[in-house]
């Protein structure tokens, strides 16, 4: 009666959602202040005041027939021009607005991109750990989803493993930096090695291998971390961008696809993006929020709060004996489970009202993800619980 594939996708909710629902139940039972929910990557820093001010300006000063009207399928031309200007001025890359397609966030950017490029028999590679929706998006577009483990410890790209995974069927590689779930930022060196492998393998197999850069966390980089602009290093790059995290606007669903203008056949690839947008019904992203982001380009939420959370959590958990990947960006801490079974570890953490996510669904068993996009006071209140959890595993209380 219905598509079995879609039925399974609709019915199989993610582990993250299950934990979040469990948290809702516990909040009712023992009070929100006693539950330490680190499950969802939902930004806690509110959208900045300038977002509200610009929105109010738009509402007051834009005629309704513009504010609520269809834009062209790829987006408002003024908005696309402004984004291309921004890329040129900020990253020094010769972007052209004709290669920008406005979308309803990174999820849509990814699924439109994959549908634009995948043909029967193609393979799409992602590095584990990876955002679990990649598998759904790639397989729904008709690709075989292949994973390559990242380097242990650093979670940078394992160049040799990538080289070996690429074959004549490889159509694209997805990278995500700053990364969900590790918080790792790919170094310039990693990007250069990646570009070199893709150039060599593309030449060897006689067709371009696309590099899809999923970048919702681009601006969330701390300290001296630099997030290289990948089109400068590899010409066949497609950037999937979102304003969900940089402006704390996840519910407004706004982002874009940028087909790097120096790509071979950039116009043709962009036309395929338009075709996929059309086929999937992702045309004309919300007009009001297209106009809003144009006014906010280059501005971000106050990331000092995430930076404070990161330091507090990393330093405290390390001092209790836990081992975690040092996060340079995004708002996730990737913690090594003290036991091989990360589900068992997360179950034990629940005894202390700590809600953590096992990384098995991210393709990385043995680790858990802690989303620290929460109020700093939640982290402060949770530390005694983490200390007790550590003492259970490391302190001989087991
Ligand atoms: N990609 C990654 C790595 C994410 O973490 C998320 C959301 O958390 C998305 C894509 C989807 O972002 P959006 O809300 O812009 O669709």
Nearest CA to 214 out of 154, 126, 147 is that of 126
Average pLDDT over residues 67-91: 97
- Taking the C-alpha atoms of residue 148 and residue 161, their distance in angstroms, rounded to an integer, is 6
Distance from residue 216's CA to the centre of ligand 1 (Å): 6
Mean pLDDT of the chain: 96
- Order the strands of the 357-358 sheet from edge to edge: 324-325, 332-336, 367-371, 357-358
Q: Check pocket membership of 338 for ligand 1, CB cut-off 6 A.
A: no
Distance from residue 106's CA to the centre of ligand 1 (Å): 5
Question: Is 170 in contact with 206 (CB distance < 8 Å)?
Answer: no
The predicted-structure confidence for 349-373, as pLDDT tens digits, reads as follows 999 999 999 999 999 999 999 999 9
Q: Check pocket membership of 216 for ligand 1, CB cut-off 6 A.
A: yes
Distance from residue 1's CA to the centre of ligand 1 (Å): 31
Four-residue CA torsion sign, 293, 295, 301, 303? positive
Is 177's pLDDT higher than 90?
yes
Q: Check pocket membership of 356 for ligand 1, CB cut-off 6 A.
A: no
Distance from residue 10's CA to the centre of ligand 1 (Å): 18
- Taking the C-alpha atoms of residue 382 and residue 35, their distance in angstroms, rounded to an integer, is 8
Instruction: Identify the pLDDT of residue 20.
Output: 87
Instruction: State the architecture of 49-296 in CATH terms.
Output: 3-Layer(aba) Sandwich (3.40)
**Which residues of the chain form CATH 3.40.640.10?**
49-296
Quick one: how far is CA 51 from the chain centroid? 22
Instruction: Identify the pLDDT of residue 14.
Output: 81
Distance from residue 210's CA to the centre of ligand 1 (Å): 20
Containing 52, the helix (H) or strand (E) segment is helix 49-61
> Coil, strand or helix: which one is 82?
helix
Contacts (Cβ under 8 Å, ≥6 apart) of 189: none
Q: Check pocket membership of 113 for ligand 1, CB cut-off 6 A.
A: no
Is 250's pLDDT higher than 80?
yes
Q: Check pocket membership of 250 for ligand 1, CB cut-off 6 A.
A: yes
Mutation choice for ligand 1 from 39, 103, 106, 133, CB with most ligand atoms inside 8 A:
106
Q: Check pocket membership of 363 for ligand 1, CB cut-off 6 A.
A: no
Contacts (Cβ under 8 Å, ≥6 apart) of 282: 103, 104, 108, 111, 112, 276
Percent of the chain with pLDDT over 70: 99
Binned at pLDDT 50, 70 and 90, residue 101 comes out as very high
Is 397's pLDDT higher than 80?
no
Q: Check pocket membership of 255 for ligand 1, CB cut-off 6 A.
A: yes
**Which residues of the chain form CATH 3.90.1150.10?**
4-47+302-394
Q: How far is CA 253 from CA 40, 50, 246, 257, 297, in A?
A: 17, 18, 12, 13, 16
Is 188's pLDDT higher than 70?
yes
Distance from residue 126's CA to the centre of ligand 1 (Å): 15
The predicted-structure confidence for 4-49, as pLDDT tens digits, reads as follows 999 999 988 788 888 989 999 999 999 999 999 999 998 988 999 9
Instruction: Identify the pLDDT of residue 396.
Output: 55
Is 398's pLDDT higher than 80?
no
Contacts (Cβ under 8 Å, ≥6 apart) of 310: 183, 222, 327, 331, 333, 372
The predicted-structure confidence for 109-161, as pLDDT tens digits, reads as follows 999 999 999 999 999 999 999 999 999 999 999 999 999 999 999 999 999 99
- Taking the C-alpha atoms of residue 189 and residue 149, their distance in angstroms, rounded to an integer, is 18
Is 103's pLDDT higher than 70?
yes
Q: Check pocket membership of 103 for ligand 1, CB cut-off 6 A.
A: no
Ligand 1 atom with least separation from CA of 255: 15
Q: Check pocket membership of 131 for ligand 1, CB cut-off 6 A.
A: yes
Containing 91, the helix (H) or strand (E) segment is helix 77-91
CATH number for the domain running over 4-47+302-394: 3.90.1150.10
Cis peptide before 178 (omega within 30 of 0): yes
CA angle, residues 259, 280, 211, in degrees to nearest 5: 30
Strand partners, 344: none
Distance from residue 209's CA to the centre of ligand 1 (Å): 23
173's tokens:
């590689």
């Amino acid at each position: 009666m219905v598509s079995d594939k879609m039925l399974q996708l609709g019915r199989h909710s993610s582990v993250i959602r299950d934990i979040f629902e469990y948290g809702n139940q516990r909040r009712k039972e023992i009070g929100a202040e006693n539950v330490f929910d680190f499950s969802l990557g939902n930004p806690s820093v509110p959208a900045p005041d300038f977002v509200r001010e610009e929105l109010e300006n738009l509402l007051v000063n834009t005629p309704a027939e513009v504010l609520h009207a269809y834009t062209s399928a790829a987006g408002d031309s003024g908005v696309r021009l402004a984004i291309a200007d921004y890329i040129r001025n900020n990253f020094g890359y010769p972007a052209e607005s004709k290669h920008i397609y406005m979308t309803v966030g990174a999820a849509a950017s990814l699924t439109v991109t994959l549908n634009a490029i995948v043909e029967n028999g193609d393979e799409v590679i992602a590095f584990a750990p990876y955002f679990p929706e990649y598998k759904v998006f790639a397989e729904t577009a008709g690709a075989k989803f292949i994973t390559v483990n990242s380097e242990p410890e650093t979670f940078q790209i394992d160049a040799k493993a990538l080289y070996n995974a690429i074959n004549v069927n490889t159509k694209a590689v997805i990278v995500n930096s700053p990364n969900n779930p590790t918080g790792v930022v790919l170094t310039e060196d990693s990007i250069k090695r990646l570009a070199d492998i893709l150039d060599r393998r593309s030449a060897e197999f006689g067709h371009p291998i696309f590099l899809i850069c999923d970048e919702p966390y681009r601006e969330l980089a701390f300290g001296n971390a630099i997030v290289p602009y990948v089109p400068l290093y590899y010409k066949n790059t497609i950037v999937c961008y979102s304003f969900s995290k940089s402006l704390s606007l996840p519910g407004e669903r706004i982002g874009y696809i940028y087909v790097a203008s120096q790509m071979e056949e950039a116009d043709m690839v962009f036309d395929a993006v338009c075709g996929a947008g059309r086929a999937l019904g992702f045309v004309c992203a919300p007009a009001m929020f297209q106009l809003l982001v144009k006014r906010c380009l280059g501005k971000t939420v106050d990331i000092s709060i995430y930076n404070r959370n990161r330091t507090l959590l990393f330093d405290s958990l390390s001092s209790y004996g836990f081992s975690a990947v040092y996060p340079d960006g995004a708002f996730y801490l990737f913690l090594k489970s003290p036991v091989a079974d990360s589900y068992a570890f997360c179950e034990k953490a629940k005894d202390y009202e700590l809600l953590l996510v096992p990384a098995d669904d991210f393709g990385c068993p043995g680790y858990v993800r802690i989303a620290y996009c929460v109020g700093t006071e939640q982290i402060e209140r949770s530390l005694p619980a983490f200390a007790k959890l550590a003492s259970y595993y490391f302190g001989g209380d087991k």
